[in-house]
Amino acid sequence: MLSIVIPARDEAANLPALIAEVHAALPTVSHEVVVVDDGSADATASVLKHLAHEDPHLRVLRHRYACGQSAALRTGIRAARKPWIATLDGDGQNDPADLPAFLAARPEQLTPDQPWLAIGHRVARRDSAWRHMISRIAFAFRRWALKDDTPDTGCGIKLFGRAAWFDLPWFSHQHRFFPALMRRNGGTVISIPVRHRPRTAGNTKYTTLGRAWVGLADLRGVAWLIRRNRLPEVEEIR
């Protein structure tokens, strides 16, 4: 029923506990955990190999070299065997205990091919004041450019249908624009309050200014995609 896709690079110290927490959060849900090692230089590959040997619900894929978070998510979603996809960051800052709330939020008649997205809203972020300020500026600019009111597009915990994801245009850094792309396809996006935990091991893979610079180019591209989109109204006549 559910594939939990976790992109990870140099997260050997965080993954064992995170994977155990996923299983603990979903005791009655048929699920698999798909971890994509994005070219890690630490012991991530060997740690995951050991865990997979003991855990029949864990699948591990590895990029030979680092390709970025969106590429790792793409690899994991394409390899997933379940119709619904949940994503978590590999650093352990997303709490898997929030996943049941996402599953409960799905409309009863929703199918995996319908464009619908639930995304976390970190209400008490464990980040520096500088990152808070940059995030607020980025939100205001994104809201103006894309008409996207999602309060926290950078949150790693999400839920959506695998088939619906295949209808989205893919590009590097795509994961930052999931809400706008789902709405572009006529979909619904809801935000769910979630916990945000401090990183306990390893280092972040992003710099604030580097992310902002790349994000500007991507923002222009997504705004163009939205402007050029026209969804047909379809009726079956036979």
Give tens-digit pLDDT for 107-164.
999 999 999 999 999 987 665 565 656 566 666 666 666 778 888 888 999 999 999 9
Q: Look up the CATH superfamily of 2-227.
A: Spore Coat Polysaccharide Biosynthesis Protein SpsA; Chain A (3.90.550.10)
Q: How far apart are CA 27 and CA 212, in angstroms?
A: 39
Q: Which of 58-67, 149-158, 213-222 has the lowest mean pLDDT?
A: 213-222
Question: Taking the model in full, what pTM does it have?
Answer: 0.87
Q: How far apart are CA 78 and CA 175, in angstroms?
A: 14
Question: Measuring CA to CA, how many Å separate 172 from each of 62, 93, 176?
Answer: 18, 22, 10
Confidence at residue 129, expressed as pLDDT on a 0 to 100 scale? 62
Q: How far apart are CA 2 and CA 84, in angstroms?
A: 5
Statement: residue 210 has pLDDT above 70: no
Domain residue spans in the chain? 2-227
Statement: residue 229 has pLDDT above 90: no
State the pLDDT confidence band at 30, using cuts at 50, 70 and 90. Answer: very high
Confidence at residue 61, expressed as pLDDT on a 0 to 100 scale? 98
Tell me the two tokens of residue 180.
Answer: 């706008």
Give tens-digit pLDDT for 5-14.
999 999 999 9
